Amino acid sequence: MRTIRLLLAAALLAAMIAVPASADVEPAVAQAISGSVLVPNPTKAAQPVTRHTRSAMFVGPEAQGVVSWFFEVDPATVGGTFELTSSVDADLDIIFYSDPGGLNATPTASGEFVGTGVDGEAGIIPLGSTHATIYPASGANVPFDYAGFEAQQVLLSGDLDVEIRSGQRLVFVNDTDQYGFVRGEKFSSGDGPASGMPAGATFTYDGATALFGTVTIPYETHMGSGTITVTTG
């Protein structure tokens, strides 16, 4: 009986101890778009001016779904990842813009994903992106599904070691009840031992890049130290 009571007490104690959340918070889908594009745009990189002109819908918004599908990028997904797929074999492309341009202004692309495969496209939504356009390089009336994911988060109450890809945004979340901070060699939420991050606050870091291989970035918080591992993959 004494053994049973001890086991029950141990189980109760374990239940009362808060288990730190993982730093690797699974990003949620913040933007989902499904549609189809009637006319393909086979120019790809060979004729970038023509491709941008058609993609940016200079022919007018009434052409949505005719030569491309043009949309505003959800700010919550910038620096996060995206997936572009189709239910049929189709060479889908997507261009992100920091300036979508207009009838009398050339658009400024922040990133282009114009591979030649039939598996769609996937990657990181470039920082500064405000709009995007989707089009097939082949096929007619091609259906598509686009998913934009929130930027990667790190909860300061949990494991502070995190791995991200080069160019990916990292959002630190102070989910503790303390006034705290995040501080690395080239970034800081503020000066002093308790700066910049009251309980519930966030701090965004956009400087994690790796030209090749792997880069390791150490940092500190009011809860301890951690490491950001940045890969080029």
Task: Please provide the average confidence, as pLDDT, over all residues in the chain.
Answer: 80
Residue 24 covered by a domain: no
pLDDT at 46: 40
Residue 44 pLDDT exceeds 70: no
Q: Give yes or no: residues 164 and 193 share one domain.
A: yes
Q: Give yes or no: residues 71 and 43 share one domain.
A: yes
Residue 7 covered by a domain: no
Backbone dihedral angles phi then psi of residue 96, each to the nearest 5 degrees: -100, 145
Residue 214 C-alpha from the chain's centroid: 19
Q: Give yes or no: residues 63 and 111 share one domain.
A: yes
pLDDT at 146: 97
What is the strand order of the sheet 142-149 is part of? 29-37, 142-149, 81-85, 121-124
Question: Token digits for 181?
Answer: 């901070």
- Which ranges of 17-151 would DSSP assign to H, the alpha helix? 48-55
- The model's pLDDT over 149-201, given as tens digits with 9 standing for 90+, comes to 999 999 999 999 999 999 999 999 999 999 999 999 889 998 765 567 999 99
CATH code for the domain of 212: 2.60.40.420
Q: Give yes or no: residues 33 and 96 share one domain.
A: yes
Distances (CA, A) of 233 to 33, 167, 209: 26, 11, 11
Residue 111 pLDDT exceeds 60: yes
Q: Give yes or no: residues 96 and 167 share one domain.
A: no
